[in-house]
Chain A
Amino acid sequence: MLILLYQFVCAPGIRKIRDLNRIYIQKQKDLETLNSLILEYKNKTAQPSIAFAPENFNLYLFISKALQDSGLKSQVARITPVSENILLNAIEQHITIVLEDIELAKLLNFFDAIEKKQFLTFGYVQISRNPQKQFLIKVDMEIVSYKSNGK
């Protein structure tokens, strides 16, 4: 009777305990990992949120107008169409502009128009002085805007 009890009750029970103990230890580690992931997530989400452009905002039109207002429209050497990247909670729009032989003052006006808009930022800016005409500069820049994707 005792042998049968050992064979069919005790031994399977011991095996089950071993397995469950292993699972329990793993689950505890998982819980720790989960907590650290959540902490990381919270830290990241705690960063200031992105300012989004209004729904009806058109980056291309805005840049065109800003260039015109700054008197730089004629100095545009190249401008790329708007491209989009879809992120988790935003739509990222890019536009790259190359301006040649412009005056610094006009450029600053243009930059001012850009920086006033919270939802616009520079992907990159590269300013280089014209070696021959020291007061004229060439600017290659990427302007980025963020729109909400509704999530």
Chain B
Amino acid sequence: MNLIVYVRDREFYFYYSEGKSLQGVFESDQDLSKFFTENKVKNLFLIFSRPLIFIRSLEFPFSSLNKISQILPEESTSLFPVGLEELELFWYPVGREKTRTSVLIMGIEKKRIEKWQNIKASFRFNMKVGFEPFVLANYVSKTISDRNYTIIFIDKNYIAKYRVENNIVVEGSSCFFEQQDYLDEYLNGIKNEKINLPVIVLGDLSPNKLMPNFRMISPKKSESCISMFFALFQHHPNLSILPVFKIFTVSRSEITVNPALICGLCVYLGIAGLMFRPVILARHYQEKVADVNKQMEEVFRVAFPDVSRIVNPLIQAKEHLKNFQDVQKVMPKISVISIMATISGIIPEHIPFKISQMSLRGNDLFLTCLTDTLENVEIVSQIFKKAEMFGAVKIGGITPEAGQITFNLLIKIKNVQN
């Protein structure tokens, strides 16, 4: 249940299953769908011929394949007629010395493979991609023992030439021809080439056209066989499409975005960020504390400009205020003459009134007075209360004595002169 698709100017196919063999050409996409619907395919070998492969060679002044792998995409950008992003690149070293490495780069347009990948996704089969030169080289190596040779592959109007050194394909070219004369000229050209390698001719060539030193390998081709390429597989059913040497692919930096990974990373970064939040907030609080400190210093400096060194504004302000309390102990300036004059002025003449003692300390005035009746005591006290100079007036002890009333007046002086 294998299918070989040989892509050249057309898409030739060779299907072989248990006892069943089919060959033909996929002319359209409908043909393809129909074929895959009708035939069960397990393995598909998709082989591109030389006209569809871009083959370029490059030399590097070192031998590290890792390094080559890293810089090869950049170095080969200008070598291809299409952008690298449109190409699937394969490369392998063809000559390797200590300080020099030659590599052969093979490029195939991605769209040519993608078409088959879509079919693969629909019909579910295994697919391997191969290249014509490797298949031819594998076939020839099964037939001859030489390691260096030139392969001429002729299939109807198609001719391809590959140079193989140490069983590694190092060069290749191909063309289509319409007239037999062109083929003769082509073969003459190969004959006259300076590189003296055995020439192995594979394919449809009449023996009379065979040049001297050319060796012909002509696999048995059935009548139904539509291409000499499929005759190789008929002759060697287990013919490998992969090269005998290691071939490297060029991996470009395509970032595969895994949404779950991105989400996880975001959550992780979010949590990690939250962990740092207290540190940031602490800085903010520190700034706030520093602001208050600064504000306190400024307020203090404005209030006490004579202080040169500020250590603790609060304590220093308290100290200032405490010192100032001493100044507050300064005695109020009260005019004793004014007090006496006020008293003389406010007491009516008809009221018998005499002061036997007057004591003044600060704002407190203490009078020991004499009058004749208790009523007059009250009248006198009311008169004192009405005086502007006196504030609170209290009557102290009242002592009637020998027809006289002795009483004390406790008065707060209001009108303090400074």
Query: Contact residues of A with B, CB < 8 Å?
Result: 1-2, 5-6, 9-10, 12-14, 16-17, 20-21, 23-24, 27-28, 30-31, 33-35, 37-38, 40-42, 44-45, 48, 50-51, 87-90, 92, 108, 111-112, 115, 118, 121-129, 131, 144, 146
Contact = CB atoms under 8 A, between A and B. Distances in A.
Contact of A9 (B276, B295, B354): B276
24 contacts: A1-B272, A2-B268, A9-B279, A13-B281, A17-B281, A20-B285, A24-B285, A27-B292, A27-B293, A28-B292, A31-B299, A34-B296, A38-B300, A38-B317, A44-B321, A48-B418, A88-B326, A90-B330, A115-B336, A121-B334, A122-B331, A123-B361, A128-B357, A129-B356
Contacts of A6: 275
Contacts of A2: 268, 271-272, 275
B52 interface: no
Given A10-B274, A126-B360, 4 more contacts: A2-B275, A13-B277, A17-B281, A125-B361
A134 to B, nearest CB: 9
B272 A40 contact: no
Interface string B299-331: 110010000000001100110110110111111
Interface residues of B, number: 53
Contacts of B326: 87-88
Contacts of B299: 31, 34-35, 38
A92 B329 CA distance: 10
Contact of B317 (A14, A41, A112, A127): A41
A39 to B, nearest CB: 9
Contacts of A14: 278
B275 A122 contact: no
A92 B299 CA distance: 32
A37 B271 CA distance: 47
B282 A24 contact: no
A93 to B, nearest CB: 12
Contact of B327 (A50, A108, A126): A50
